[in-house]
């Protein structure tokens, strides 16, 4: 795998050109952030752990026939993916009420949603990623109302596929956030990353035991946060990570 020119850099990933114009390479950084980047730290090997877990999640989705950008994982921290034009939208699917939902609506923590509750957010730091609906997608020229519905349908499929897979490892998927892009044929494809940074993952048996970035958001020391990512890696990949 040959790294080409750097195309862009975000809080947790760098995008590079590859030797194929239809493919790009993602590098997962060791940075961890929360609260619109206000909280920021570096955790050695976090990029590797998250890249490996993302690759595993994308393999599950590809096997289910859900369109994703994932092509290949190159350890420790690179992923070859289809080149997409990303939509500035975060799509959340909530299976169990937690997090910000509890601050916004009179819904009890732990309420189950079947089918999953899907929410769209416009990625715009200045406006603090406001929640939007299908009409806003149209008005912001991001897509048609039908495409917004397609995004929501695919998101429920992603959530159901990952929940089914995680259950077999004793993990409950409480919610997740995914992002979409368009491929060269204008098809909507799941892009970005899916891992403990973008999902709430709870132990099925041990109340309060979590395997995701909430550990960091709630202020745990960085070694504890790293242990959480290692634990998730070991549970899902059934081997020890090769830490540097
Ligand atoms: P929320 O309860 O904070 O809205 O989060 C819902 C899910 O989305 C949770 O799994 C965390 C994830 N998420 C992100 O990945 N990025 C974000 O910027 C936010 C706000 C949430
Ligand atoms: N993704 C956001 C950040 O990195 C917020 C979060 O995940 O809590 O700032």
pLDDT digits (tens, 9 = 90+) for 23-60: 999 999 999 999 888 899 999 999 999 999 999 999 99
Per-residue confidence (pLDDT) for residue 7, from 0 to 100:
98
Delimiting residues of CATH 3.30.470.20 domain(s) in the chain: 85-203
- Strand ordering across the sheet containing 13-17: 6-9, 13-17, 23-28, 78-82, 70-74
Helix (H) or strand (E) holding 180: strand 171-182
Say whether domain 85-203 belongs to CATH 3.30.470.20: yes
The whole-model pTM stands at 0.97
Helix (H, G, I), strand (E, B) or coil at 20: coil
Mean pLDDT to the nearest integer, 86-102: 98
Q: Ligand 2: which of 37, 89, 121 to mutate, judged by most atoms within 8 Å of the beta carbon?
A: 37
Per-residue confidence (pLDDT) for residue 1, from 0 to 100:
82
Looking at domain 6-84+221-237, its CATH class is: alpha beta
Q: DSSP secondary-structure letter at 150?
A: H
The neighbour count for residue 240, using CB atoms within 10 Å, is: 9
Separation of 4 CA from ligand 1 center, angstroms? Answer: 31
Single out the residue of 67, 93, 80 nearest to residue 187, CA to CA.
67
Per-residue confidence (pLDDT) for residue 103, from 0 to 100:
97
Q: What are the pLDDT digits (tens) for 187-244?
A: 999 999 999 999 999 999 999 999 999 999 999 999 999 999 999 999 999 999 999 8
Q: Relative to the CA of 119, which ligand 1 atom is closest? A: 4
Give the separation between CA 132 and CA 81, rounded to whole angstroms: 28
Delimiting residues of CATH 3.30.200.20 domain(s) in the chain: 6-84+221-237
The response to whether residue 34 sits with its C-beta less than 6 Å from ligand 2 reads yes
On the question of pLDDT at 133 being above 90, the answer is: yes
Write out the two tokens for 174: 């409480």
* Residues 6 or more apart whose Cβ sits within 8 Å of residue 144: 137, 138
């Amino acid at each position: 795998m040959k790294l080409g020119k750097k195309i862009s850099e975000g809080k947790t990933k760098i995008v590079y050109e590859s030797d194929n114009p239809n493919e790009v390479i993602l590098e997962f950084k060791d940075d961890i952030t929360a609260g619109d980047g206000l909280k920021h730290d570096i955790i050695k090997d976090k990029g590797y752990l998250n890249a490996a877990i993302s690759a595993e999640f994308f393999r599950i989705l590809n096997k289910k026939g859900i369109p994703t950008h994932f092509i290949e994982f190159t350890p420790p921290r690179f992923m070859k993916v289809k080149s997409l034009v990303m939509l500035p939208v975060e799509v959340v699917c909530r299976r169990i009420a937690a997090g910000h939902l509890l601050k916004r609506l009179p819904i009890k923590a732990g309420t189950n949603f079947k089918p999953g509750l899907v929410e769209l957010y416009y990625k715009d730091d200045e406006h603090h990623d406001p929640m939007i609906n299908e009409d806003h997608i149209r008005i912001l020229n991001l897509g048609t109302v039908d495409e917004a519905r397609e995004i929501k349908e695919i998101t429920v499929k992603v959530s159901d596929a990952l929940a089914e897979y995680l259950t077999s490892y004793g993990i409950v998927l409480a919610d997740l956030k995914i992002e979409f892009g368009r491929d060269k044929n204008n098809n909507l494809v799941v892009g970005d990353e899916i891992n403990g940074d973008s999902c709430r993952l709870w132990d099925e048996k041990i109340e309060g035991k979590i395997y995701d970035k909430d550990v960091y958001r709630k202020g745990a020391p960085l070694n504890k946060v790293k242990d959480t990512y290692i634990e998730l890696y070991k549970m899902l990949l059934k081997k020890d990570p090769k830490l540097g």
